[in-house]
């Protein structure tokens, strides 16, 4: 059995209070191993995004435990979480992914530059390399607003990989793309997963996309149902 990358137990997340209280997660438990490529499935509103933002340390659960790489993340403060996120977790979102005033390359190297306080030549070299692996060698210095939807998502994947994180969380990364672009993005993700052993958790409600992943995690009623 492979080493556990992350483990959550009895995750509860409620929004609002009193009459308006919504229980989104109701004691969800999940374990992911290093090198997994998993799809997160479930109907709209089932709590996929909520789970991903908690796993990504962008939001604290109401209760439950959250361990990753042996670190207890439920008790960490904002500064520690920010640093942890920067080093160990990559994100790909559905919308609003790139910084509009920056080029593709500048977007990709952001996670390294923000940690080092400047854009180093080494970071640029890695950024270029990642972009060419995403098939964007000729779009390196393009302003990000001039890229197509599929290109933007591939830049976002490159950026998510910039700091060689153990875990990449992608929330419906193909939700906005046509089928061809969606398949291209998923193929690239699969390739990175095979070549570098990066763990991916990708939410989608598209069964075909989910089928490209090795493991399917289904959420419903606030818990993992399959």
List of residues contacting ligand ADP (CB under 6 A): 15-16, 22, 24, 42, 44-50
122 part of the interface to other proteins, by CB under 8 A: no
Question: Among 6, 28, 47, 49, which residue sits at the site for Mg ion (rule: CB under 5 A)?
Answer: 49
The nearer residue to ligand ADP, 146 or 225, going by C-beta atoms, is 225
- Min CB(141)–Mg ion separation in Å: 33
19 part of the interface to other proteins, by CB under 8 A: no
Euclidean distance between CA atoms 11 and 190, whole angstroms: 28
Q: What angle do CA 39, 45, 50 make, to 5 degrees?
A: 65
* Gyration radius of the chain over CA positions: 17
The nearer residue to Mg ion, 49 or 163, going by C-beta atoms, is 49
Asked whether 56 and 91 are in contact (CB, 8 A), the reply is: yes
Quote the tokens at residue 28. Answer: 């969800």
77 part of the interface to other proteins, by CB under 8 A: no
Binding residues with other proteins: total (CB under 8 A): 36
DSSP secondary structure code for residue 162 in this structure: T
- Min CB(134)–other proteins separation in Å: 17
What does the DSSP assignment read for 146-182? Answer: GS-HHHHHHHHHHHHHTT--SEEEEESTTTTS-HHHH
Euclidean distance between CA atoms 141 and 130, whole angstroms: 13
Q: Give the interface with other proteins as residue ranges (CB under 8 A).
A: 49, 53, 56, 58-59, 78-79, 82-83, 85-87, 91, 93-102, 110-111, 113-119, 159, 163, 171-172
Contacts with Mg ion, residue ranges (CB under 5 A) = 49
């Amino acid at each position: 059995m492979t080493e556990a990358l992350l483990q959550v137990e009895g995750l509860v997340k409620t929004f609002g209070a009193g009459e308006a209280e919504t229980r989104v997660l109701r004691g969800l438990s999940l374990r992911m191993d290093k090198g997994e490529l998993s799809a997160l499935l479930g109907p709209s509103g089932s709590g996929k995004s909520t789970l991903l933002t908690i796993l990504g340390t962008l939001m604290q659960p109401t209760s439950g435990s959250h361990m990753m790489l042996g670190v207890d993340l439920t008790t960490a403060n904002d500064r520690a979480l920010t640093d942890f996120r920067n080093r160990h977790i990559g994100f790909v979102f559905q919308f609003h992914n790139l910084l509009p005033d920056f080029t593709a390359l500048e977007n990709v190297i952001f996670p390294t530059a923000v940690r080092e306080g400047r854009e180093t030549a080494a970071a640029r070299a890695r950024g270029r390399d990642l972009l060419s692996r995403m098939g964007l060698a000729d779009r390196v210095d393009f302003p990000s607003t001039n890229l197509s939807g599929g290109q933007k998502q591939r830049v976002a994947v490159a950026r998510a990989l910039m700091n060689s994180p153990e875990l990449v969380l992608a929330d419906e990364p193909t939700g906005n793309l046509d089928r061809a672009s969606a398949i291209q993005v998923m193929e690239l993700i699969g390739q990175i997963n095979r070549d570098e052993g990066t763990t991916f958790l990708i939410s989608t409600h598209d069964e075909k996309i989910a089928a490209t992943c090795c493991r399917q995690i289904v959420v419903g009623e606030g818990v993992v149902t399959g």
